[in-house]
Chain A
Amino acid sequence: MTTTTSTTTAAAGSAAEHAQRELLRLATAGSVDDGKSTLIGRLLYDTKSVLADQLSAVERATLARGAAAGEVDLALLTDGLRAEREQGITIDVAYRYFSTARRAFVLADTPGHVQYTRNMVTGASTAQLAIVLVDARKGVLEQTRRHATVAALLGVPHVLLAVNKMDLVDFDEATFRAIAQEFATYATGLGLPDVLAVPVSALAGDNVVDRSTRTPWYAGPTLLEHLEQVPTDDALADAPLRLPVQVVIRPRTAAYPDYRGYAGRIASGTVRVGDSLTVLPSGKTSVVAAIDTFDGPLEQASVGRSVTVRLADELDVSRGDVLVPTPTTDADAGTTVGQDLVGTVCWLSERRSVLGARLLVRLGTRTVRALLREVDARLDVDTQTVELLSGVDTLHAVDATDTSSDAAPSGLGLNAIGRVRVRLAEPVLLDDYAAHRGTGAFLLVDPADGTTLAAGMVGPTLLDRLAPEPDEDADADWLAGAGI
């Protein structure tokens, strides 16, 4: 059985420890029967995040399912969701909270469900780490590859492969090694930067929170130890500054008659007093006169912090603008301002994409009118293959009234992932998602009722990496044949 090591919990730990505690956001890749609910239940239970009234409710539910008295089915801790699914209600993501003395965790629990891609994309969009579960008896399956693909697509910096149900393969090292190796090879192909495999039994608690004595051949951290240690800052701290302006603060009071501050949360990098900044898309420049907060001025502030910046010059800056470093030479500008957005989208709505549709694009704090010009590639998430649809503007080539999902479906339907080209009504900052997970993300919104149609990532993504080289001869023939 497992041994209990020095597990620190929310109840333990000093006030000073809590004051320094960091936040890690993670997502579980959901699928049926891999033990995900049990694993989450185990994490909550072993970090003492389950309170007596919740536990007694689970004990009652366990009994009601015919178990012996005293047994607790940890999977039932997340059962509220399942009960709703049984009633036919689709709830895509639930959020759960647990903590140790070192870190607090926000876990996006994405149930394995028919809407899997949309669910996973939602959970993974904010995750710094994704837990991919496999059943040790079954090894890497199609759904495992799907989870890895979505994590790679969304740029999740860290992936933990939890090889679960090790108790059912007698904690066999060779089984674990083979699965870990197969997944690592696959993950490398996807460009996933950091992957760790951990042998666990969520049911018995091996290597989840407490170290197992039944895996003496495993020298790595337990699942929770890894969650406590994995770096949280990643690339966004070192990336160039991006400060999307949310609101302009203008008190117009006797105490602050001429105050004009630009409030926003730093999406990447650091801003310092004295820095020369450029306002995009206008391109006007000024110098940071002050970084204000309610608690007093700052000399500098970094990614994640909500601040208010004052500039030395009176500029026309408003919501939707982005403050970036002023380039010192043309070569290091590093910013692209344009009206043609090319990116990868995950379609979230049951309404299919229609070429030529008028949309709203939400990018950072800016919303602009837009036209869907092209859907030129589709990713089959199960096989990780990319289908090229057409290399040219198909605005009039596809029947826009075709909303059927089976017979030669056009465009993108629910859960589809594809590459789009969108023409924007005005120029905006277009950051590559790969380098700017904060400012490179966008939404496509239906202007009629506000429905979020798609989640998008600007610039080349995994999809471009997986896409076959276009057959240029065939393309040329087609162009010639069309008389273009």
Chain B
Amino acid sequence: MTPTPTLDPVEAPAAGSRLTQLDALESEAIHVMREVAGEFERPVLLFSGGKDSIVMLHLARKAFWPASVPFALLHVDTGHNFPEVLAYRDATVAEHHLRLVVAHVQDAIDDGRVAERPDGSRNALQTVPLLDAITANRFDAVFGGGRRDEEKARAKERVFSLRDEFGQWDPRRQRPELWDLYNGRHKPGEHVRVFPLSNWTELDVWRYIEREGIELPAIYYTHEREVFLRDGMWLAPGGWGGPRSDEVLETRTVRYRTVGDMSCTGAVESTAATVADVIAEVAASRLTERGATRADDRASEAAMEDRKREGYF
């Protein structure tokens, strides 16, 4: 007997149907978002216009398609934003018919709830307007783009992270998180921070942006910009207070690895013009994302943990 040759390829074997890493991460994030939609009354997605929150929004659109995203976006506006990022935010909200809630740090400064810091950085000042917005809007689940690879305090963060009425993260009070059974039960006044990108790394985010063809604000790619050097970081001038008289503006070819408050987010010198260029650069980088470009995380060994305990995301 001679075997009959098959004309058509047989159905892909089980091995071929296994999820790739990016598929698995995507599927897990969608699962987390659907759990939130199923369990909570008033979820909201923190949206800064940075790459992590943009990826979160993309995943949310996938999770509920063909229905629209069933939650609002919340932007905590430090007042020191990159104009390109605000333009991106507003265009995105309009394109996908989303509801945007903006909490302004300036409002909290104006009515005395928080005080401006001498160094001009408003990153840490976001916590008060964030918590006020959560209370005022009665949000019970707040999606954040935090990843456990970012920082050692975040390595211990749960996917569902219970916060008390003061928004505090208490590492001692964390619920054990088993299988994919996320427990979002909470008392009135408490809320849950949810991190669907917990298991992603910076490179995963960029590879996913490439695979999905996700558009980002232009400042993530190389451009000429007037910058000045402070504490080893290239900061952009602006109404937030830089440069000081002893700091010299110069034009450099730069891009941003993270997007945040202008006073504490540094540019890196780079000629990476495409997503592929950025991936090559990030893969070869010998510095972590935050080590390279975030002044506030350099403040102390436990800077992130301290801010998280206060209610930061």
Q: What is A's interface to B at a CB cutoff of 8 Å?
A: 10-11, 15, 18-23, 51-54, 80-81, 84, 89-97, 99, 103-104, 106, 118, 121-122, 125-126, 232-233, 237-238, 246-247, 249-253, 255-256, 259, 263-265, 270, 292-295, 300, 302, 304-306, 308, 319, 348, 360, 362, 364-365, 437-438, 441-443, 445, 449-452, 455
B199 adjacent to A97 (CB under 8 Å): yes
- Which of A54, A259, A445, A451 sits near B288, CB closer than 8 Å? A54
Could you show 19 A-B contacts with beta carbons less than 8 Å apart?
Answer: A15-B279, A19-B20, A20-B20, A21-B21, A51-B286, A53-B287, A89-B171, A92-B176, A93-B176, A99-B21, A106-B199, A246-B38, A247-B38, A249-B67, A263-B64, A302-B17, A305-B27, A360-B185, A365-B35
Closest Cβ–Cβ distance, residue B307 to chain A (whole Å): 15
- Which of A21, A255, A362 sits near B20, CB closer than 8 Å? A21
- Which of B18, B171, B198 sits near A237, CB closer than 8 Å? B18
Closest Cβ–Cβ distance, residue B55 to chain A (whole Å): 14
B21 adjacent to A293 (CB under 8 Å): no
Please report the C-alpha to C-alpha distance between residue A22 and residue B292 in the assembled complex, in whole angstroms: 29
- Which of B21, B38, B203, B285 sits near A23, CB closer than 8 Å? B21
A246 adjacent to B23 (CB under 8 Å): no
B291 adjacent to A118 (CB under 8 Å): no
B24 adjacent to A304 (CB under 8 Å): yes
List of B residues within 8 angstroms of A97 by Cβ: 148-149, 199, 201
Closest Cβ–Cβ distance, residue A37 to chain B (whole Å): 13
**Closest chain A residue to B152 by CB distance?**
A80
A22 adjacent to B172 (CB under 8 Å): no
Report if B283 contacts A (CB, 8 A). Answer: yes
A304 adjacent to B176 (CB under 8 Å): no
Report if B299 contacts A (CB, 8 A). Answer: no
List of B residues within 8 angstroms of A126 by Cβ: 178-180
A452 adjacent to B175 (CB under 8 Å): yes
A306 adjacent to B27 (CB under 8 Å): yes
A238 adjacent to B21 (CB under 8 Å): no
Please report the C-alpha to C-alpha distance between residue A200 and residue B274 in the assembled complex, in whole angstroms: 42
B21 adjacent to A84 (CB under 8 Å): no
Closest Cβ–Cβ distance, residue A109 to chain B (whole Å): 8
**Closest chain A residue to B147 by CB distance?**
A97
A91 adjacent to B171 (CB under 8 Å): yes
- Which of A96, A232, A246 sits near B18, CB closer than 8 Å? A232
Q: What is B's interface to A at a CB cutoff of 8 Å?
A: 14-15, 17-28, 30-31, 34-35, 37-38, 61-68, 148-149, 152-153, 155-156, 162, 171-172, 174-181, 183-187, 198-199, 201, 203-204, 207, 211, 276, 279, 283-288, 291-292
B181 adjacent to A51 (CB under 8 Å): no
Please report the C-alpha to C-alpha distance between residue A294 and residue B26 in the assembled complex, in whole angstroms: 12
Please report the C-alpha to C-alpha distance between residue A250 and residue B34 in the assembled complex, in whole angstroms: 13
List of A residues within 8 angstroms of B185 by Cβ: 360, 445, 449-450
Closest Cβ–Cβ distance, residue A349 to chain B (whole Å): 9
A247 adjacent to B178 (CB under 8 Å): no
- Which of B18, B23, B61, B68 sits near A233, CB closer than 8 Å? B18
With A233-B14, A270-B17: A452-B176 Cβ-Cβ less than 8 Å: yes
B186 adjacent to A118 (CB under 8 Å): no
A18 adjacent to B175 (CB under 8 Å): no
Most buried by B among A23, A84, A106, A264: A23
Closest Cβ–Cβ distance, residue A362 to chain B (whole Å): 5
B187 adjacent to A450 (CB under 8 Å): yes
**Closest chain B residue to A245 by CB distance?**
B38
A23-B20, A104-B21 known; 14 new pairs, CB 8 Å cut-off, are A22-B21, A94-B155, A95-B155, A95-B199, A97-B201, A122-B176, A246-B37, A249-B64, A253-B67, A265-B28, A270-B17, A305-B23, A365-B35, A438-B179
With A93-B156, A237-B14: A441-B34 Cβ-Cβ less than 8 Å: no
With A265-B27, A294-B61: A362-B176 Cβ-Cβ less than 8 Å: no
Closest Cβ–Cβ distance, residue B298 to chain A (whole Å): 9
Please report the C-alpha to C-alpha distance between residue A18 and residue B21 in the assembled complex, in whole angstroms: 8
List of B residues within 8 angstroms of A364 by Cβ: 181
A51 adjacent to B172 (CB under 8 Å): no
B179 adjacent to A441 (CB under 8 Å): yes
With A21-B20, A53-B288: A104-B204 Cβ-Cβ less than 8 Å: yes
B18 adjacent to A22 (CB under 8 Å): yes
B181 adjacent to A441 (CB under 8 Å): yes
Please report the C-alpha to C-alpha distance between residue A151 and residue B41 in the assembled complex, in whole angstroms: 37
Closest Cβ–Cβ distance, residue A306 to chain B (whole Å): 4
Please report the C-alpha to C-alpha distance between residue A250 and residue B68 in the assembled complex, in whole angstroms: 10
**Closest chain A residue to B289 by CB distance?**
A51
Please report the C-alpha to C-alpha distance between residue A256 and residue B66 in the assembled complex, in whole angstroms: 8
- Which of B171, B177, B181 sits near A442, CB closer than 8 Å? B181
B34 adjacent to A18 (CB under 8 Å): no
Please report the C-alpha to C-alpha distance between residue A475 and residue B174 in the assembled complex, in whole angstroms: 42
- Which of B61, B148, B172, B286 sits near A52, CB closer than 8 Å? B286
With A23-B21, A264-B34: A53-B177 Cβ-Cβ less than 8 Å: no
Closest Cβ–Cβ distance, residue A75 to chain B (whole Å): 14
List of B residues within 8 angstroms of A253 by Cβ: 66-68
List of B residues within 8 angstroms of A80 by Cβ: 152-153, 155
Please report the C-alpha to C-alpha distance between residue A95 and residue B299 in the assembled complex, in whole angstroms: 24
**Interchain residue pairs A-B with the least CB separation, the first 6:** A450-B185, A53-B291, A80-B152, A52-B286, A294-B62, A251-B67
B67 adjacent to A246 (CB under 8 Å): no
B19 adjacent to A304 (CB under 8 Å): yes
